[in-house]
Amino acid sequence: MYQIDFQKPIAVHFIGIGGISMSGLAEVLLARGFKVSGSDSAVTPLTEHLEQNGAAVCRGQRASNITDDIDLVVYTAAVHPDNPEYAEAVRRGLPILSRAELLGQMMKNYQDAVAISGTHGKTTTTSMVTEILLAADADPTISVGGILHSIGGNIRIGNSGCFVTEACEYTNSFHSFFPTIEVILNIREDHLDFFKDLDEIRESFHTFAKLLPEDGMLIINGDIPDYQKLTGGLSCPVVTFALENGEADYRAADISYDEAGHASFDVLFRGTKIAHIALEVPGEHNVANALAAVAVAKALHVPDEAIERGLDGYTGTERRFETKGVLGGVTVVDDYAHHPDEIRATLLTAKKLKKKKIWCVFQPHTYTRTKALLSQFADALSLADEVVLAKIYPARETDTLGISSADLAVELEKLGKKAHYFESFDEIENFLLENCVPGELLITMGAGDVVKIGENLLGL
């Protein structure tokens, strides 16, 4: 594999530079004096920010974007060999790295490299760790999979030896990492266009855990079924956190919720109180995320007082139960949930708000996930009072499975829940305007562009 010397800047081209992770990596290289170029399908705030910092960004992907001065090409998992830029780089014999391989090489430059993994909760937990480290004046470098207002985006370039990043299991990309501290938040069925089943996913996480050096640390959710099988054979220390497992190292006690569903609780380490936390994000799942963040902070020797200051009042990142506004007395919230577990957690959180009715506008994400987890999606969505379904957001896929949101509507009807399915966002917006009434909660939900529905209604 091609190895970058980060002390000798070169010209790097990113295929898909506008992605939330790719844009962050590009910004890190720009800060280190590299010449950066890239391409993407659309102009976004992320690509505009990169251009303002000196990157050359092309709209659209074509072979001519691979120019003679490029030394290295970086691509995402969504890029296939027939991509014109990828194919041209191969024809020219240029070195090529995946996004994960580049990120892994970056991690080698830091004394403390924290990789936060799990089927869900990565962005929130990474953001919580960020807030704690900022409160401790630790000056970390951060790569987060969302927009975090306290760092002004998705990347923060620090000058210390601490680097924190999300670690995604899709295509086993996190196997290319070199972490010193890992977090495993949870493991559930997902990305079944790549993984065969849950057992294969668990094995992928086990392989990830085995990347840790002897002087590293694994922080794992003790509520994961048979989590000891994931930690077997590790040479490094293992620390657990949990909501249910009474033997976990880090636990929450005396949890209470305000009328907005925000949790306050004591953090116990092996039975001794070390902090009291009051979050400004709702839901029990965020208590678990906070426990993981505390465990990371303690592994990095952050004082308890800074942990409390970092997490007290934590308000989250964009698209994580984000209140977008109020329209005619209807509160409009947006959430990134696109897995049944995430949907269930979000809707259970919504119920704590005691609104007259919960409307959930859900946009399924990828055909394979929808087909594989169809009944689980229906079961989770049935927690809403009213379900409105948009067309499946294909992301990297094409429809070869004969699955649609209409099939999800049928599954919901089997559970006695009427679902409204519309082909276009315009139809959904008109339906909502006609049917939502003051005092109700409207949640747009999914990992695609469903957020536009709420924003259009609010005129944002």
Residues classed as catalytic = 122-123, 166
Q: What is the DSSP string of 62-98?
A: -GGGS-TT--EEEE-TT--TTSHHHHHHHHHT--EEE
Place of tokens 């000798």: 8
Residue 324 Cα distances to 283, 450, 451, 458, angstroms: 18, 13, 9, 8
Q: Is residue 18 marked as binding?
A: no
Contacts of residue 280, Cβ cutoff 8 Å, sequence gap at least 6:
262, 313, 314, 315, 316
Place of tokens 């991509």: 83
Task: Report the C-alpha gap between 203 and 189 in whole angstroms.
Answer: 12
Q: Is residue 315 marked as binding?
A: no
Joined together, the tokens standing for residue 4 give 């970058």
Q: Is residue 240 marked as binding?
A: no
Task: Report the C-alpha gap between 414 and 142 in whole angstroms.
Answer: 45
* DSSP SS3 for 363: coil
Q: Is residue 120 marked as binding?
A: yes
Q: In what order do the strands lie in the sheet with 56-59?
A: 56-59, 35-40, 11-15, 72-75, 96-98
Alpha helices (H) in 314-400, listed in sequence order: 340-351, 367-372, 374-381
Q: Is residue 118 marked as binding?
A: yes
Task: Report the C-alpha gap between 435 and 422 in whole angstroms.
Answer: 15
Place of tokens 């944002």: 460
Burial label, 231 (beta-carbon count in 10 A; 0-12, 13-18, 19+): middle
Task: Report the C-alpha gap between 424 and 407 in whole angstroms.
Answer: 17
Strands 250-257 and 262-269: antiparallel
Place of tokens 């294909």: 394
Per the CB < 8 A criterion, the answer to whether 75 and 22 are in contact is no
Strands 238-242 and 322-327: unpaired
Q: Is residue 402 marked as binding?
A: no
Polymer length in residues for the chain: 460
Cα atoms in the Cβ-side hemisphere of radius 13 Å centred on 214: 0
Task: Report the C-alpha gap between 248 and 245 in whole angstroms.
Answer: 6
* DSSP SS3 for 352: coil
Q: Is residue 370 marked as binding?
A: no
Contacts of residue 9, Cβ cutoff 8 Å, sequence gap at least 6:
29, 32, 33, 34, 35
Binding site, annotated residues for ATP: 118-124
Binding site, annotated residues: 118-124
